[in-house]
Chains A and B, each alone.
Chain A
Amino acid sequence: MEDKEITQEIISVSSAPHIRGEDSTQRIMFSVVIALIPALLGSVYFFGTRALWLTFLAVITAVATEWVIQKLRKVEVTVSDGSAIVTGILLAFNLPGGVPWWLPVIGSFFAIAIGKQAFGGLGFNPMNPALLGRAFLLASWPVHMTTGWTAPLYGTKSGISTVTEATPLAALKDAIKYLNVEDKAQQSAETIAAIKGSYGNLLWGKVGGCIGETSVIFILIGALYLLYKGYINYRIPLSYIGTVALFTWIFGGVEGYFSGDPVFHVLAGGLILGAFFMATDMVTSPSSIKGQWVFGIGCGVITVIIRLVGGYPEGVSYSILLMNLTTPLLDRYLKHKPFGS
């Protein structure tokens, strides 16, 4: 009997299941990187090689920061899991094209050092690091962050035929604001009438904005890939975009309820990028199925409030950051009922 007793070194008696699926953290993160490549190519096409340069700086800084901090903390270095690369790309994607080169560097550093490593690294960060980095930049260098817009190489900043000097959402916001101001009323009315003509530009990406957010088509190509791979699911994007569409339609117009332009609101700004690539960030969005619906709707409501009522033309980043904070509660209280109850 003794001779047949196999020693622990040779065989493993760890418990079931004895086989595991192929997905790993690394595989997921690199799939997200791949999914962001179409949007990156789009940003280079519309904003030139500067977009590539800014993205490169952000990624390098993110990876280097993670490496250094993990070395200093004397913990395992996990830069090979790809999550810092994702953070770097998303941070750059959320910057205007005209910012100085050191802005993505500082933003990425903040995102990784404060937004992620200070909490203990991947899996422990309560908020999306890239968005936190962006919020930090917006608070610290508001001029760069709000006026650094560059026009796309093949179009105007607004994409709206009557306006050239503002991003689409800002153009609309101004138009609504000045609708009753004598000398601007006519022009504002023309702008509002012209926004329907901008759909094509918005879809394609021929408008000003953050370098990675403008091209709906390119972003969606990447999003479809992630949906197909099962690394994101439809619940948050659908509920988020659906909520924005519904409420901007109801409240977003100038001729009373149900006169808004939901299509414009969905296509303009950072909603598509945010809904598919940032609100869906696994770590900071709920794992509860009900929680995911609530999260998406919450993001939508806050985005609409900021866009229609708040001081900024765009509210995607802040809405996601705010909802990130509710994630632990949503997971805890929107419990699942077991099958059969």
Chain B
Amino acid sequence: MYELSLFVLDLVQNSITADAEIIKIWLFEFESENLVTITVADNGKGMSKEVMGKAVDPFMTSKTERKKKIGLGLPFFKQLIESCEGKFRIKSKLGIGTVVTGSFPYSNVDQPPVGNLEETILSLVIANPGIDFRYTRRNDKKEKIFDTRPVRKMLGSDAEIMWQSSELMEWFRNELIES
């Protein structure tokens, strides 16, 4: 798994599992500031300090407790970011949501390729008709924003049932990839 977009997919699945209603994804690639930042934020159920500690360092032990592994996604992402001289950050609040960010130098040699991020987001949008997504990709020259909320508003109560119609999928594809 050496593509940023696969890590984004993994982080977004965490948000989906946490019952998020809206998931926001930002990718900033600023050559001028020598900085790449990827962020996934959700309004899901969040996690306690204790769960977060275990999630980030799954082999953390206390004297009374045996080693407990609760998942490898977050440690994996943290490791990737730190291996390219980057910074991993996570903030979470029970009942409010979670924000995960990785940032690393633009010109790092170990930097993973972004991969097919727009395709990945397209599948996420289509396969999750009940969840809203906002995706922002920005570099020194331009910015691209995709947001399902105005789409849902426009389609009204029929939004979910027509979400996977070929017409709407085609529109999503045009907005995310062809434009």
Q: Do A and B come from one complex?
A: no
